[in-house]
Amino acid sequence: MAEIHLKNVSRRWHNFTAVDDLTLQIPDREFLVLLGPSGCGKSTTMRMIAGLEDVSSGEIWMGGKLMNHLEPKDRDVSMVFQSYGLYPNMTVYENIRFPLKIRGIPASEHKQRVMKAAEMVELTPFLDRRPAALSGGQRQRVALARAIVREPNCFLMDEPLSNLDAKLRVSTRAQIANLHHALKTTTIYVTHDQVEAMTLADRVVVMKGGIAQQVGKPMEIYDRPANTFVASFIGSPAMNLIDGDIADGTFSNPYLTVSGLPHAARGPVTLGFRAEDVSVVSEGGNLSAPVYSVENLGDSTMFAIKGAHDDLISLKADKTARMAIGETVHAHVPAAACHVFDRESGLRIDGFDNQAVA
């Protein structure tokens, strides 16, 4: 069992708090993604679980055992780093085998376990090569195999795809998802890439400033962001966020009016909606503004307009849509697709429940 429980965990250096009072229950076999911008505390959280950083306060439990004062080698976790961390003078076979040697696993088991791990990440033809003769994707697969061969209770992956190009990220991401399905081992994965989080995770922890902003399944967070930070961080493009006023179920600002909203919200608010929920129309609609930019994406066309505070608002249209910069675009933003947030705190307003996510 590799159920992990973080109880009020914090990490502080003098006056700086990297992780602040984080409580998190990670069930056995779950794939949990820690997501957020640089400096949000996600890697520090992982390093505390691994034992590479001390816990300033709180407790870390794994499999019913308190981990706080155990050395990293005694925690039965395997880490995969962004930098691969391979030994350049060793072959792929020896790199994968190395954790077995240092942990005193009987030599009679080495070959079988190395070959099994190598086969899982499709490295069997490359076992005699050294890291310098491998591509970036192949090196990352060696790092994965080296973690797999130990058969740990938990995998910890710290931005393992950051050094790969776009095509390799897609293929390696699929491989990691398939490995988790096959191995069924608890996995904690750190990334700043929301696409990785959405495609890999059973649950996502969105972090900012050392604090967990929201914890939930990927589509729960996408459909019902807890605050404007989560709304702006999840999704590509990010959710459009527009300041205005709401009264009697109608939101208004200089270029957008949305009626039929619930009456729970009143006064100055931030309205959120996603680009794919907007319908670009030839005339009318409840949003009108000059086109600021046009992006032809193949399967669709993305228009951007500038808001009152020079913020860009994205509108997704059919791939056949044609419009020049400077022309006025008309669109319909349905009330059912809107989210309402308190403008001062950024929190989702209680009692507001749009039909799109009900």
pLDDT at 358 over 50: no
Q: What is the largest CA-CA distance in the chain?
A: 75
pLDDT at 354 over 80: no
pLDDT at 298 over 50: yes
pLDDT at 166 over 60: yes
pLDDT, tens only, 204-252: 999 999 999 999 999 999 999 999 999 999 988 899 999 999 998 899 9
Q: Calculate mean pLDDT across residues 267-294.
A: 91
Share of the chain above pLDDT 70, in %: 97
pLDDT at 1 over 70: no
For 153, list phi and psi in degrees, rounded to 5. -80, -25
Contact 156, 143 (CB under 8 A): no
Contact 230, 213 (CB under 8 A): yes
pLDDT, tens only, 35-87: 999 999 999 999 999 999 999 999 999 999 999 999 998 999 998 887 778 89
104: which residues sit within 8 A by CB, 6+ positions away? none
Tell me, what's the pLDDT at 103? 87
Q: Calculate mean pLDDT across residues 101-121.
A: 92
Share of the chain above pLDDT 90, in %: 72
For 176, list phi and psi in degrees, rounded to 5. -65, -40
pLDDT at 156 over 90: yes
121-131: b (≥16 Cβ within 10 Å) or e? bebeebbeebb
Contact 325, 270 (CB under 8 A): no
Mean pLDDT of the chain: 91
Burial status of residue 163 (CB atoms within 10 A of its CB: 0-12, 13-18, 19 or more): middle
- Tell me yes or no: is domain 4-223 CATH 3.40.50.720: no
- CATH 2.40.50.140 boundaries in the chain: 239-357
Q: Calculate mean pLDDT across residues 263-269.
A: 81
Q: What's the token pair of residue 51?
A: 């034992």
The H or E element that residue 303 is part of is: strand 300-306
pLDDT, tens only, 116-143: 999 999 899 999 999 999 988 899 899 9
First to last CA, the chain: 35
Confidence of residue 351 (pLDDT cuts 50, 70, 90): low
Read off the amino acid at residue 110. Answer: H
Verify cis geometry, omega within 30 degrees of 0, for the bond prior to 237.
yes
The H or E element that residue 102 is part of is: helix 92-102
pLDDT at 350 over 70: no
- CATH 3.40.50.300 boundaries in the chain: 4-223
Overall CATH class of domain 239-357: mainly beta
181 vs 183: CA distance, rounded Å: 6
Strand 279-281, strand 267-273: pairing: unpaired
| CA distances, 213 to each of 225, 233, 315 (Å) | 9, 11, 27
Q: What's the token pair of residue 69?
A: 């004062």
Residue for token pair 């191995």: 183
pLDDT at 303 over 80: yes
Tell me, what's the pLDDT at 254? 86
256 vs 263: CA distance, rounded Å: 18
pLDDT at 357 over 70: no
pLDDT at 15 over 80: yes
Tell me, what's the pLDDT at 129? 95
Contact 33, 200 (CB under 8 A): yes
pLDDT at 4 over 90: yes
Highest mean pLDDT among 77-81, 259-263, 347-351: 77-81
